[in-house]
Structure 1
């Protein structure tokens, strides 16, 4: 890439789009990962007992989708333009899937089932007292939904602007070009060795084969 191409307005826009897309995807993936450390559903009993269900019980898909988004963000730096478009579309689907799985938490029955699953893992919970618990959502599902939205927006921006991004893998192509010039360097070294051998044999290494043949015929 020449200096003119690097400093062109199109290249500048490509760098802006690339950074914005990466930030959106990373922010969405990290938001989803953070929610896996927080309680998603809580319930309080009259005696002050509290039961809470985390993301691995209430919505296990959040962790898998967030890890997929994080891996996709890393892959965007390494792959070329056309694979980026495909990955951008995939990120849109991942983001939509994340939003839809969290949206199911609006159903009270889903929250109740999450508490029941939590009780199966920890049967010493508040429901053993016979009290009726009313489950409630925390802010974690909303944060996970925001993460899905950011993933979808980042994927859409990636797919729409990938052709303007700096080409991936170019630095490795340059390194490969250096490796390709190695046989030429070895050839020059072989020539020097042959010249030294010719000097040792009493021959003039500056003469080519035709000059040698002409000298032998004249003798």
Structure 2
């Protein structure tokens, strides 16, 4: 499989996983005493994984049109975005005071009764961050072997527009 296809596949996997981490449960807080448990999805806790995913996919799309040097720069940027998503997945664990700030229903019972459980979202963010970092590293290492954007449909800058119309009238295609 070509490196470009691997990068595309990894970027797609990262987008799906990091996007899912925004909608799945990041933290669940049970205040006890018969009160219903409150769940916090990833987008409520942090918007970083989804932002990293979107920025990474945009950078991967731009690499299709860029030259080798810009591909390497963008590959490094995508690898850093993936590393950032991994760091967020590993470090963002909101405590009781932060959860009570997000949901006032927890504020009166936060002191000693709330039990917290971590949902699956941080794991999805971790896997998505690793996929995005992998896509960036592969881009960085194989940028010189990628195909260039085709110039087939670009017009010849030396040809005047009148010359192109004359070529079309003569039955020639000036884009070839």
Please identify runs of 4+ aligned residues in structure 1 that moved more than 4 A. Answer: 126-131
Distance 1:118 1:37 in 2: 16
The alignment yields a C-alpha RMSD, in angstroms, of: 2.6
Of 107, 125, 148 in structure 2, the residue corresponding to residue 144 of structure 1 is 125
Of 120, 133, 154 in structure 1, the residue corresponding to residue 135 of structure 2 is 154
Greater percentage in helix? 1
Distance 1:20 1:114, change over 3 A: farther
Deviation (angstroms), 1:149: 0.7
Distance 1:65 1:117 in 2: 25
**Larger Rg belongs to:** 1
Of 22, 26, 29 in structure 2, the residue corresponding to residue 36 of structure 1 is 22
For normalisation by structure 2, the TM-score amounts to: 0.80
Preserved contact between residue 27 and residue 150 of structure 1 (Cα < 8 Å): yes
Of 118, 136, 144 in structure 2, the residue corresponding to residue 163 of structure 1 is 144
Structure 1 unaligned blocks of 5 or more: 1-14, 190-219
Distance 2:62 2:167 in 1: 39
Which structure 2 residues correspond to residues 2-151 of structure 1 after superposition, within 5 A? 16-44=2-30, 45-105=32-92, 110-119=94-103, 123=104, 125=105, 127-128=107-108, 132-151=113-132
More divergent stretch after superposition (158-167 vs 54-63): 54-63
Distance 2:139 2:28 in 1: 37
More divergent stretch after superposition (38-47 vs 175-184): 175-184
For normalisation by structure 1, the TM-score amounts to: 0.66
Distance 2:166 2:77 in 1: 47
